[in-house]
Amino acid sequence: MDRFQDLPHDIALQCFIRVPFNQFHTIRSVCKAWKTEVHLPELLRLRNSTGKAQSLVVLSQAKVNPAEKRKCSDVPVYRLVVLEPETGSWSEMPCLPEFEYGLPLFCGMVAVGSDLVVMGGYDPRTWDCLNFVFIFDFLSSKWRRGADMPGGPKSFLVM
């Protein structure tokens, strides 16, 4: 791994701007310097200015169990999927912490920089209204819990 750390900064940066979003977690694991570099705003600006930034579409999609004969279950289960329009590639995002059984129903979602923020909605098991905020960092491919929404639980958020 030491040989990667000796790569000249300019060459490493040219490599970083060409890496697809779903491989940033790999770059981060090479060394501490690269982990730091991936999170610098300069990299995102450089990817944008050179036309190397990827456009992504994140959708909430119903999970379907092919073994079930009927198309609708009693309680719908949703997951997050990512479409890369340039390649036509689809991938499933990791589940939110505390929500392995599905995305909160009627939650709000918004993209902020290289993050996806998911907030509010209803717990699909209990139907409790939620004030949770979860943030997915596309650079680390990980979820983290944000501060709860001010003003209490909400659903059907209008962005």
Give the pLDDT of residue 118.
95
Confidence of residue 5 (pLDDT cuts 50, 70, 90): low
Higher pLDDT, 93 or 17: 93
Q: Is the dihedral of CA 90, 95, 101, 107 positive or negative?
A: negative
Task: Give the mean pLDDT of the chain.
Answer: 82
Query: Which of 1-5, 6-10, 36-40, 149-153 has maximum average pLDDT?
Result: 149-153
Q: What is the mean pLDDT of residues 36-45?
A: 78
Whether the predicted pLDDT of 49 surpasses 50: yes
Provide the whole-model pTM: 0.74
Of 60, 63, 77, 54, nearest to 124 by C-alpha is 77
Please state, in angstroms and as integers, the Cα–Cα distance from residue 125 to each residue in 11, 15, 67, 75, following that order.
Answer: 50, 44, 21, 8
pLDDT digits (tens, 9 = 90+) for 69-86: 555 556 678 999 999 888
Euclidean distance between the first and final Cα of the chain, in Å? 44
Whether the predicted pLDDT of 133 surpasses 90: yes
